[in-house]
Amino acid sequence: MDKINRTTLFLTLTFVISFSLVGLYKLFGGQYDNKVSATILAVTYMFIPMICAIIVEKVIHKDKLKANLFISFKINKWFFIAWLITPIMSFGALGVSLLLPDVTYSPEMTGMVNRFEDMLTPEQLEQMKNASETMPIHPIWLALLQGLIAGVTINAIAGFGEELGWRGFLLKSFKEMNFLKVSIIIGFIWGIWHSPLILMGHNYPQHPEIGVLMMTIWCILLTPLFLYFTVKAKSVIAAAIIHGTLNATAGIALMVIDGGSDLTVGMTGLAGFISLIVVLVLLFIYDNKLSKEKIMTNKISNYL
C-alpha cells in the first residue's frame, strides 16, 4: 500500500504542478512562438518530475535518494554508449526521411531556413544563410560536435530533471514487473505528461492535436531504450545522458532535408520512429543473443 501511495502521490503532484504551470503561462499571455519564454517554460517543466520525486522520497518519507532512485556517478561503458547512440539515431532518421516521396536532400539547408520563416525576420534569415555559407565545415558537423558537448553537460542536467522521476522513481515503483510492461506504462505516462506543451506547438506545431498521440507513441518507443541503459549502467545518469544528447542532436535529422511535415520527418516524426525501432530491434537481438543478462524478457528487479 505504501508503494501504491507513493506512486499515486508522485504522479498526482507531477501532473497537477506541470499542467498548472502551463495553465498559468497561458493565463498570463504566454505564447509558445515566443522562443525565450517558451524555452524557460520547457526547461522549468522538465525539472518538475525530479522535484516531485524528491518531495515524496526525501521530504515526506525521509528515505535516501541515491540508493532508492538509482543515482550513481560511477562511470561505466554504458554512459559512453548512451552518449553516442542518439546521434546515430538522428542520422538514421535523416536517412529514412530521404526515402520519403516528398522529401529532398538539401545540403545548402534551404529546408531548415524555411522552417524558421515564421520565427525570424528576413534580416535574421539572411544572416543565417550567410553564416552557413561562410563556415569552414558544413554546419551539420558543427551541430554534431555542439550537440555531443551539450548532451553530456547542460542538456544532461535538464534531462536529469525528468529522468529522476521517470527512470528513477517510477522504475523503483514498477521494478517487480517485466521489462516490456514497465516500458509501456512509464512511456504512456511520460507521453501524456507532455500533452500541454504539445498542444501549444512543441515538436508538432503543424499538427498539435495529432501530435499528442504521436508524442505518446514516441515516448513509449523511447522508454525501452532509456530503461535498458539505466538498468545496464545501474544508474539513472545514463538515461539523463541519452535524454540530454537526444535533445541536443535531434535537429541533425532536419538540417539537410527539404519537405515533409512534423508528422513525417525529424526525430519525433515517422522517420524518427523507424530509426528508433531499428535501434530497439538491434538492442533486443543483443540482449537476447549476446548479453549475459536477458533484461528485456524478464522482471527488472532481477538486474537491479
Interatomic CA distance for residues 254 and 243, integer angstroms: 18
- In degrees, rounded to 5, the angle at the alpha carbon of residue 246 between the alpha carbons of residues 228 and 165 is 55
User: Which amino acid makes up residue 8?
Assistant: T
Nearest residue to 132 (alpha-carbon basis) of 120, 140, 123, 122: 140
pLDDT at 216 over 90: yes
- pTM of this structure: 0.93
Q: Mean pLDDT over residues 150-173, rounded?
A: 97
The pLDDT value given to residue 134: 74
Q: Is the dihedral of CA 75, 78, 81, 82 positive or negative?
A: negative
Strands of the chain (E only): list them. 103-105, 257-259
Tell me which residue has cell 563556415. Answer: 135
pLDDT at 132 over 80: no
Which tens digit of pLDDT belongs to each residue from 52-106? 999 999 999 888 888 889 999 999 999 999 999 999 999 999 999 999 999 999 9
All 3 cell numbers of residue 135?
Answer: 563556415
- Provide the mean pLDDT of the chain: 93
The pLDDT value given to residue 1: 43
Helix or strand holding residue 105 (H, E): strand 103-105
User: Which amino acid makes up residue 100?
Assistant: L
